[in-house]
Structure 1
């Protein structure tokens, strides 16, 4: 999801226990806003809130994808995955609440480097991709409430879906089109989901995908960081498909002489058109990057991020300060969660705090769906009550098995 170039004017509004503020990124299915959790006794927390487009919220397939993203991300507990904190459904709209990461997408960082004619140090590239691979491995290994493998395959690994923080940590985000066991929304045979430039050949063919498919996409990201350009470029999708299927990638060192033979070999193995010749797991590739190439420290990566997008980071600081000012003027009632319908992102994990009163969990298989949702509140000017609030149907997960990753 690309970042917004400049913050748009936006009237802050309360969405349950959250304050929704300016848009900071946008995509085809949703926009991302900076927000604030409004807790008791003055407790607050800055969050990112993904707001589904109104027209998408009326489409059952998009609603299922949105809820699936929350369910899956909530089952993955790892420093290299952006955590999902909550899902709220109000007034016919869906909001996915995530941890706020002070940083920028890998896509924008690579573009800024290329525009400034700056090569990305191989150590920095290796560090970012190692973090990406570790996050993917955590997703591939994720299990359900009863310990059953979820068989998650991200299927849309790309620089747009990797967030690199000023803390030097790379984090995977956006599991909206991921393949997994017991998803609400399923993909028909032969249907392609993802970005063609980063798809593995088997994905383009509409064949079976597994964790090695994500390894290929991560290797595409590594190649792009090392060279400053896309792996395959074509004028039309058909030609691009053919280039991916043919699989004649150049070694990164032919473009960037700073790339070592070891790093060349690791990258090219990850890009092998035959999945049986790739790394069998994302973790295996991450370990080889660490041991054979060496990776930059989080401090080095964090400085790289700050150098490239210092202006954007200052703008975010200003938006957060503005949000602090608005939030400080809002009184938090004792029954803040009363009457708010919040859809739990996944089955509860033992370490999670209990859900507050008035919270409605996403139904498990066999349970009834959610009830109609109340209206949100606008901070500056209360909105008149609507005659009725539209209802978002929360579909039930199908009971089916899925092949292991």
Structure 2
């Protein structure tokens, strides 16, 4: 049975349906917003864990996340609805995604000993490119570039709904130009998906997110970990110093176009890497559509429902 989480007023409240995930500084729940005349809306609620709620730095990051992404309205970015406060802690109400994340997607393919199709993979990554392009180029009401960098592009933060829509989520450690005071002193992000400059404690820009997305793409197509799967100094050193193994060694039949795209995204030289996510997205779209009709949201929807039949009925 649903249990109340937050009472907004006498007639409006959020009710917990289930816990989705926990980690880092928060816990995410599926919840139902109750409104007047039987109104109901499913959403996700992100709350601070008890320990984090006592840490002023975590609280400030949590609030900054909500404020930073409040006006990020894009098909491929999870929408934030509200920053609220209950008792002594904050919560973020956001769009609920009926689907799986990229890690689930990879693990299912590993379990059946198959690599995902190139076109489906390229389509998903191209949608993340468009999400990043939008975020990177976002301006405030006065026309000033916000300078948003996600800094945590990783498989768990790339969602695919069962309607075939790709969503970049969790801007919890994203930075903007006016929130750069601690960068270079504190390491943020998941180590296995960091860019060389991020792992080196250097100031990051949009090109850092492109490198992280390149790692996701490499692992998606190859089915193998690129630099490591541990949050250790060894993984960081590999990211900073080791050459990226040619993906063709792991995927002998990979398209030459995709091969070039992946290695350009993973170039350690910032000037030789893709300069914008939009540029990478355009190259992927040329790969997908230049020769005819390529994948769409509907294509991905059908593929996901076929891959995860046991998860689909609850969303009918």
Same fold (TM over 0.5): yes
State the partner residue of 2:5: 13
SS in 1 for 2:70: helix
Structure 1 vs Structure 2 CA RMSD: 2.0
State the partner residue of 2:201: 206
State the partner residue of 2:96: 100
Alignment of 1:35-46 (within 5 A): 35-46=31-42
Deviating beyond 6 angstroms after TM superposition, the runs of 4 or more aligned structure 1 residues are: none
* Greater relative contact order (CA < 8 Å, ≥ 6 in sequence): 1
State the partner residue of 1:308: 307
* Deviation of 1:235 (Å): 6.7
Q: Does 1:81 align with 2:77?
A: yes
Decide which structure has greater helix share: 2
Asked if 1 retains the 8 angstrom alpha-carbon contact of 2:227 and 2:239, the reply is yes
Cα deviation per residue 1:343-398 (whole Å; 9 max; x = unaligned)?
A: xxxxxxxxxxxxxxxxxxxxxxxxxxxxxxxxxxxxxxxxxxxxxxxxxxxxxxxx
Deviates more, 1:301-310 or 1:115-124: 301-310
CA distance in 2, matches of 1:256, 1:202: 27
Alignment of 1:271-310 (within 5 A): 271-294=266-289, 295-310=294-309
State the partner residue of 1:34: 30
TM-score (norm 1): 0.72
* Deviation of 1:247 (Å): 4.0
Mark the structure with the bigger radius of gyration.
1
Q: Does 1:260 align with 2:255?
A: yes
Pairs aligned (count): 308
CA distance in 2, matches of 1:144, 1:65: 19
* Deviation of 1:113 (Å): 1.1
Q: 1:88 to 1:235 in 2, by over 3 A?
A: closer
- In structure 2, list runs of 5 or more residues that go unmatched: none
* Deviation of 1:312 (Å): 3.1
Asked if 1 retains the 8 angstrom alpha-carbon contact of 2:215 and 2:226, the reply is yes
Q: 1:74 to 1:228 in 2, by over 3 A?
A: same
- In structure 1, list runs of 5 or more residues that go unmatched: 1-8, 319-405
Asked if 1 retains the 8 angstrom alpha-carbon contact of 2:26 and 2:46, the reply is yes
Asked if 2 retains the 8 angstrom alpha-carbon contact of 1:18 and 1:36, the reply is yes
